[in-house]
Each structure stands twice: as structure tokens, then as C-alpha cells.
Structure 1
């Protein structure tokens, strides 16, 4: 009878173990989403006296009628006095919008997130949103679910590769349960956190999302978090208008990103007191904004729904658009806690509906209602800000269930994504990390090599082949060099490219080409100069047909050669590798 596999090893190594952990994390994330929604609802009723104050029209708090709407000045201050010290003392990473911190944990820390982040993030975000903070709930639930997944993976002593998957499972489960969006959860986690769609990880993330959705629907019911009317298009000409919509709203998404960090920088510059007090003092500014525009209170989904259904005029829509950008940026800047996904949807809905009103005025018989443009603008704004077109399409499709708008939706979202990338290399999530010196687009194995140049890793240049060299001679030279690739120069010494052993062999096998010269076979590999970075050289070498590549000067003259071995020698000199340390020898001599 075969020996039973230990439980810990089964969880760490088997696919069934990963599936089991994904199901447990999905259930935990679903329960966490229920608790988080309850905390937000309770906080909103406590601080405003209403289920959602954003549509209350500046009414008084029922418990404090003598104050009228002026209680709005006090609510963010009182909440800040509670969650400010909480975040500062127990989990500083719970400040802000959450998703960049999870992206950093996945990319740089092997998926390790402290468990206390879950509780602190839930309380801080619920207090912030409930007291009027103009942020969303998806950032907090991503961080909460991710911390649960990381903690469970840590208890099971999973390797980093699987720990990252469990972090994504928690994030997907939180999104799915909170928004009743079982498709959007996995795509959000895969596109933004893991940044790949490997089969094993995708399966685990989907199972976690489904489990969390089942748990969430048991509490909230199987209803979309927005109740939108059915929409339809009127004319194929509208596709041109949706391209324009993608450009305009994609630019709004980028503007949202820029203003968010401009105001955060301004708050950092202006504040000179203790960090734990910053949310309370800054709460006075937020309260003043809420007095002027109470529609900015909290997440604001009811206001978004009123806009898309056509209840607001063009000018007021623009006021709400810029008001939301300012309110969200101010909430984050003063040290608040909450997400930027919902605000980006809000910005897109206002801008898209205003765009729809404008085109309706000029082409009344050929365009759909403004709400169609507002609905599609929601996805376009998120795509422009976050650079996540797949997630944007899935989210909007799940919100509506309207297949008739899928083609214009995809059109606008792709154009908005391209617009956002043209205006900024960073997204609303990655910009926060780049400001800390973290580049998620760089290959993980090469991030630690930033700052080292090819000049430090060059070796002697092999003898170049003159361009007039016959193929038989070139084959002999390549065989002697054992490099598989050699540089080619003209009679004047100018660099013409490189020739490979494979290209020469194939040419010699062809009788019609066997009498040619290497000049006709020279190819230009990726350009490397003295100033090129080591990560860039490694990327070029990974695709090189031989064992090395030439290094050129600024005048495009050959100055050296670089190989994997020369880079290794530059970073870890042979002497350091060939002489073991005392610890490696197993000695403890002084």
C-alpha cells in the first residue's frame, strides 16, 4: 500500500492542492466582501444618516437637524481622527487606493502581504467612504482578498510562484463578490496583478471567483450593482462617433491620473504635521467640497445611474466630471483609503453622457440616446486610466448583459487604451510604483541590474569578416571562432551587420547562392552601445542567433563584443565565484 502524501506537501505541489486553496480563498473573499459592504453601509448611515448621501441633495443629518448640511464639514474630520492613527500605527500600506501595493507585492515580494492589512484596510476604507470620501470599494476589497490569499499561502508554506496565484485568487474573489461580476474578477486579477494568463493560474483564479460569487449572491442576490435600461444603436455611422468618444474619454482617464498625483504631491508638500493627523485636517477641505457638491459623497453609484438614464443636463455633467476628479484626488491626497476604479467609471459616465448629448444635438436622427455613450464611456475611462482593455470590456458587458453594444464598446475601449498609452507610459496604478523607482514592465530577473551598462561587460571584439569574404571562407572562420555569429565590415571599415553560421550553411546548401559573399547575408541584430543597459543587452542576447552581439560606438563603429558570460563575469568576477566563502567550506575559523 503506497504511503500517504503529507498534507503540506500535497497543498504545495499538487494541482488538487492549489484548487482546494483557491476554493477556500474564494469563500473567504466572498465573506470578506459581505463584511466590507456591511461596514461601508453602516459607516454611511452613521456619518450621514442616509443609505447613500450622494443623492440626498444636501439634506441635514437626521440626528443633527440643527446643523443642516454643515455636518458635512465634521464627518470627514471625525472619521480621519479614527482611521488616520489606525493606518499609521498598524498598516501604512493600507493608505491610498490599494491596487499598486498588491501589484508591488506580487512583482517584488513574492506575493507576501501582512495579514493585518485586511482588517486595517477594511476599517479605514469603510470609515473613509462612509464619511464622504469620494473613492471606490474595489481597491480595498482587492487588498483585503489578496492579504487573505497571501496569509493562507504563507501558512501552507507555498513557493512564491503559487503564493502569487493565491494573491490573485483573493483579489478576483473580492471583485467578483463585491460587484456580482464573476467574469470581471479573474480578468482584473490576471491582467493587472499577475499580468499573464497561464493555464494553471487562470483555472485557480476562476474557481476562486466563482466561489466568491456564489457566497456574495447568497447575501446580495443575483442582481447587478447598477440597474441600467436597455440600449441599442441607430446607425453604422455611430462607430465613427465611438472612435471620437474613445479619444475624448481616454484623454479624460489620463487627466484623472495626472490630477490624482498632482494633488497628492501638493498635499505632501503642504503638510508639515504628523501623518496620523493628516486625514482629519485634510477632511476640512473635503468637507468643504462636499458642501458645494454633495453628489461627490462616497462612491456615488446612484448619481452615475441618474446620469446614464438622462436625468442631468450637459453643463452639470461636466461639473460632476471635474468635481469627481478633484474629490477623489483630494480624498487620496489627504491620506484617505479607497479605490479609483469606481471614480474612473463615474468620470467616464459623466463625460460619455455629455458627449452623447452633444452628438445628439447635431445628429438627432442618427445617434442613440446619450446614455449609450455614457455607458460605453465608463469602460473607456477605466481603460484609458488603467490600461486594462480586457477587464474594461468584461466589466461593462457584465454590467449590462447587452450584447448589442459589444462592438461599439470594444471600439471605444481599444481607442481609449491607445490614447492613454500615447499620452502617458504609465497607468493610474503603475505610476505610483514608478514614482518609487519600481518598473513593473522590466523583466523581473533584470530589475536589480538597472544602472549597469554594457561598457562594464564588454570583451574583445572577434576578428570581423570583410564583406567580400566568400562563403566557404566564412564557414571556416565561423567554425574556428565557435561563436556561431561574426560581425561583417565593408572595405572602409563601416559596420554592415552580422552573419551567422546557420545563414552561411543554408546558403552553401543552395548551389545558386554558394558562390556569394557574406555581405549579402549580413543581418542587423538589435543595436547595443556602450551606454545600453545590461537588462537591454540580456533581452537582445536571448533572441540572438549566436553566442554574442557586437557593441557599437555613438558613431556606429565596432568597439567590443558582449555575451552572457561577459555579463556574468562583470557582475560576479571569476575570482569571487571560484573561491568559496568560509560558510560554503563549512568552516567557522576566525
Structure 2
């Protein structure tokens, strides 16, 4: 009988031409870096454009506001609370709702809502493809809705517009869906940075709500876009904090505990806010009229509330500044807390176009201010103050409602410049996040798309396949087969050795790699027993290096349409890696990861033992 097996252990042999080598890997790395530079350049271009659009949006909101409430054509900022329309103020938001409904009906239904859930949905279900028309329709519809008194912020629409612009640019170039996702996130967060001048918070927003990953290829373009957006904010708006407030001092430990308790209470309030918003949305869904008219109905409610509480109308960034100052009368803060929430919840539930961040900040800030005032009244020596209570209230509200934990903390710091508030913010947002995590299945950002059957990632975890290397699951004491032996000889030999391996390296008499053999093909009785082995080989000229990770192996298997790859070290074949090995490694890693008391080195050692014990590779003696 010919040598069916080569030397026990994979033969040390030169790679075939076409196998990866050091120069090929270097070229691949250079190509990857060039693509990263390209995506970064596109992200910066989107950021420049969205900064200009942000300025355009704010200007357009001011123009619509002045026309609607003051009858003047001016781009200067005037709060709609200063109007003298009397009862006519009730009609103005309704007219805006009609216009938004018509734009949604004849333009795109995607302009409805506050922007971030829609962007998340396109990322998760549609390869980050957003209709280019949204780039134009979203800011115009939002300017109409907000300018006619809608109780929204400009940040949601600009985030949606930036995402649409990034997606559109990504569709014009030949890039992958993941790269398009990165440009979409870059455009969206650059818009937030351009409005508020908060680039770090914008980067965290991308990670927590849009990218669902953390890697150089995603963070670098987004960070560059957010820096560009912040520069645009300084150039087109102002250089100081967007929400100036009195200087805060570092609190005592007792005060820190009280602030954390305020955050806990705000966390429960965030649950109620989210549930009521979607309850109102469900009510609108049951109305026996076309959805185009819903924003008009919501507008009537906004106008009615605005008649009794004028400060609920419009963007209301001045409301946030006033609440953070700590100088507003308690009764006014209470009215703002209740009526702003009611107006915003009805308007958002009606499906009009607007954002959630500014209303959440207003409601949370007012809630924190009220709680702080109550505690100070009951315990004058508690060591807390109203401005700090308002700041942690607005941050904790956003953390609980959206579960954008890091975004909430860094946004509060950047938008106010009060870095002494770091510890209270950390305690309050952590408490609010815990309440939200344990008691609410979905957030205000994900509930809408969850109802459509879209599942969003609920945790940020490392890429397991990227962490595990080929070296950790490959046994170099594998076997190789002679390509010249017949199927009959191979079957008899495998039967006598009781070999359980699924794939085998096939090498010629000089040790050169010829291909991989599949056990299922070898045992296929429809194949002539006299057929020699090399006639049934998988001969894709792909290999994976022993130092590569399993993600690289999966990508190569998908590229070549193969179920196994030869493993190389120092340009020589030393083993074989199959998709079953990767699946077992992945499953084992997650099973072990649930056992919190095990050390990572023990995990990997057991992983190697498990893979070998399952017969994925079996060492045999040389047979004649």
C-alpha cells in the first residue's frame, strides 16, 4: 500500500505560489489603512456640510418662528413665549402639523419621529441606506414643526439629516455596508457636535446608539467628524458652553449620596416618561383618521398648552439655561416640568418631526431642580444646591430614557463646562441607568423599532472571533494524506485507526500543500473506490496564518467558499482549520464566559483541551 498518511504531524513544506506571504499581508494592511483614510476624508466632508446645514436649520427655525408668532421676516432669535397672539396661538402649531403631514405623505414618511430610532433601524436592517431626499426634507419639516411652536430641540433633526447625508455619500461610492454605517454615524454625530459643541459626547453617542462597536476603523472617522462639527459650532455659533450656569463646587460625600438618590428617582421618572410617550403613540394609532392628520391634532394640543404655558413652545434652550441657573421660582419650574412634558409627549406621539434630547433635558432638569429644592427645604444642611440638582436631573433623565450612559455624562460636562460635577453625574446617571436596565425592556430610542421586530444590541462586547487566535485551537500534531492513494485505501485506513477528524491536509511526496479533503466526501459511497484522492480535493489557494485571529479565518472561508483552511507558520503548512473548529471555539468561549470566577488563561487552556479531545485533530504514526 502506498503511504496514505505522511509523517505523523503535518509535513513542513513550502507554500504554493498564491499562498499569503509577508509582502501580501503588508499590502493588505496598507490597503486597509488607505481605506480608513478614505472613509475618514469622506466623514470630514460630511461634517463640514452638516455644520453648514445645522446653521441653516437654526436660521430657518428662527425665520419660521418670527413669521408664525410675530409676523416679521427675520432670522434673529425670539422665543415664541413672547408672542401676543392670544387664542390664535392655538392654531399656529396645528398649521405646522398640517404642513409636516403633507410633506410626510407626498415626500417621505421617514421624516416623522425624532431621528435617532430611524437611523438605528436603517443601520440594523437596510445596510445603512437612507433615502437621499431625507437630507432635504428632514431639516425643512423640522424647521416648520419647531418654528410653529413644536416643543422639540434641533438636535434630533440635525442628527437624522447628518445620518442621511452620510448614507447618501456612502451610496455614491463603492464601499461596504459597514463603511457606510461609519459615515452615517459620522454625519449624525457631527450634526450633534455642530449644534451643541460637544464632540466627546457625540463620539459616545455614536458608540452607544449607532455603531455598536469600538475599533480604530470606526472611531477615527467619527472622532474626526465630531471635531470638525465642534469647530463648525465655534465658527458659526459661539465658543462658550451652550448651557452656561453658575460655577459648581465639588460636593461632599454626603451630598454625593443625595445627588445619587436624586438620580435614582429621576430614573423612575424616565420609565414613566417613556411609557407615556408610547402610550400616546398607541392612542394615535387607533384614531379612525389618516396618519397625515395626526401632527395637526398634536399641534392643536401643543397650541392649547402653549396658550396657558407659553414657555413650552419652541426649542426651549433658554428654559434649560434658566433652570440650571437655580434662580427660577419653584412654581414656574413645576409648570415647565409638567406642561413641557405633556406638550412634547403628545406632539411626539402624533408622529411629527422633532427631537427628544432638548425636551428630555428640560424635563429632567426641572425634575432635578424640584427634588433639590424639596430636599433643601426639608434638610437645610444637606450640603446640596439647586443648580447641581438640575444638572444631574437633566443628565440622569437622558441616561434613563435612552440608556446612552456615557453620552449623558459627557454631554452634561461639555455643554456646561462644570467639570466639578463629574462625580455627582456619575452617581446619578449610574443610578438612573440601573433602574432603566432592570425595569424597562426597551428605551425611548429603541421601543419604536422593537415594535417593528427590529432587535437592537443591548450590550457592548468584544469580537470573540477577533480575540481568539488560530494558534489557540489548532493542534500542530495533525495528519496529512497522500493525494495518490485510492479512496478504498483511505477508507480502510481511517476505519482501522478510528479517526474522527472531519478535514485533512493533502500534501504530495515533497510535502507541498495540494488541497484539503472532506471526510464526508471520502465516505461517500457514490464515489468509485478506485478513484484517487486528488480527484475530490478542495483546492482553493487560501490559507490562514497561525497568528491570525478566527475572524480572519471566517472571512477567508467566506471568500473562497470553503469549509476548511490550511494553517501556516513561517510560510509552511502545519495544520488545518475547519468551520466546525471555529463554531466549537465560539460556543465554548461564551459558555465559559458565563462562569465569572474563571481566569481567562484557564479558559483558553481548557479551550485547547476541549478542541483536541473532540477529535478535531488526531496524531498518528507513519504507516507504510
Tell me, yes or no, whether TM beats 0.5: yes
RMSD: 2.6
Unaligned runs of 5+ in 1: 1-8, 61-67, 445-478, 484-537, 548-590
SS, match of residue 392 in structure 2: helix
**Distance (whole Å) between structure 2 residues aligned to residue 173 and residue 349 of structure 1:** 25
Contact 1:169 1:204 in 2 (8 A): yes
Which structure has the larger Rg? 2
Q: Deviations over 1:329-366 (max 9, x none)?
A: 11112231101111111111001001110111123233
**Alignment match, 1:35:** 56
State which of 29, 41, 44 in structure 2 corresponds to 1:20.
Answer: 41
Per the alignment, do residues 427 and 482 of structure 1 end up closer, same or farther by CA in structure 2, a change over 3 Å counting?
same
Q: Which residue of 1 aligns with 2:203?
A: 186
**TM-superposed deviation, 1:436:** 1.0
Q: What secondary structure sits across from 2:52 in the alignment? A: helix
Aligned counterpart, 1:476: none
2:137 is the counterpart of 1:116: no
Alignment match, 2:79? 53
CA contact (8 A) 1:121 1:140 kept: yes
Q: Given that residues 150 and 314 in structure 2 are in contact (C-alpha distance below 8 angstroms), is that contact kept between their aligned partners in structure 1?
A: yes
User: For residues 273 and 585 of structure 2, what CA distance do their matches in structure 1 show?
Assistant: 39
Say whether residues 1:105 and 2:105 are aligned partners: no
The residue that corresponds to 1:359 in the other structure is 375
- After superposition, residues 27-426 of structure 1 pair within 5 angstroms as 27-49=48-70, 51-53=77-79, 55-56=81-82, 59-60=83-84, 68-270=85-287, 272-426=288-442
Matched residue SS, 1:14: helix
Alpha-carbon separation, structure 1, partners of 2:177 and 2:359? 33
Q: Is the 8 A contact 2:301 2:343 kept in 1?
A: no
Q: Quote the residue 1:543 is aligned against.
A: 587
The aligned counterpart of 1:470 is: none
Q: CA deviation at 1:310?
A: 2.4
Larger RCO (alpha carbons 8 Å, 6+ apart): 2
Structure 2 unmatched ranges of 5 or more: 1-29, 71-75, 461-497, 503-581, 592-624
Give the CA deviation at 1:10: 8.2
How far the C-alpha of 1:268 sits from its partner, in A, is 1.7
CA displacement 1:293-336 (0-9 Å, x = unmatched): 11110121212222222233434433322222211111112231
What is the rounded CA distance, in whole Å, between the counterparts of 1:282 and 1:433 in structure 2?
21
Range with bigger deviation, 79-88 or 386-395: 79-88
Deviation at 1:369, TM superposition (A): 1.7
Please, which moves more after superposition, 406-415 or 235-244? 235-244
Q: Given that residues 113 and 352 in structure 2 are in contact (C-alpha distance below 8 angstroms), is that contact kept between their aligned partners in structure 1? A: yes
Note the C-alpha offset of 1:290.
Answer: 1.1
Structure 1 residue 542 displacement after superposition: 2.8
1:500 match: none
Kept in 1, the 8 Å contact 2:65–2:147? The answer is yes
- Aligned with 1:366: secondary structure? coil
Q: 1:291 and 1:14 mapped to 2: Cα distance? A: 55
Map 1:392-471 onto structure 2 (within 5 A): 392-441=408-457
Number of aligned positions between the proteins: 442
Q: In 2 relative to 1, CA 546–321 (structure 1 residues): closer, same or farther, beyond 3 Å?
A: closer
Residues 254, 384 of structure 1: 8 Å contact kept: yes
Checking the alignment, whether the CA contact within 8 Å between 1:83 and 1:123 is kept in structure 2 is no
Shift of 1:109: 1.0
Distance 1:232 1:543, change over 3 A: same
Mapped to 2, the partners of 1:149 and 1:169 lie a distance apart of 7
Deviations 1:475-517 (A, max 9, x none): xxxx87669xxxxxxxxxxxxxxxxxxxxxxxxxxxxxxxxxx
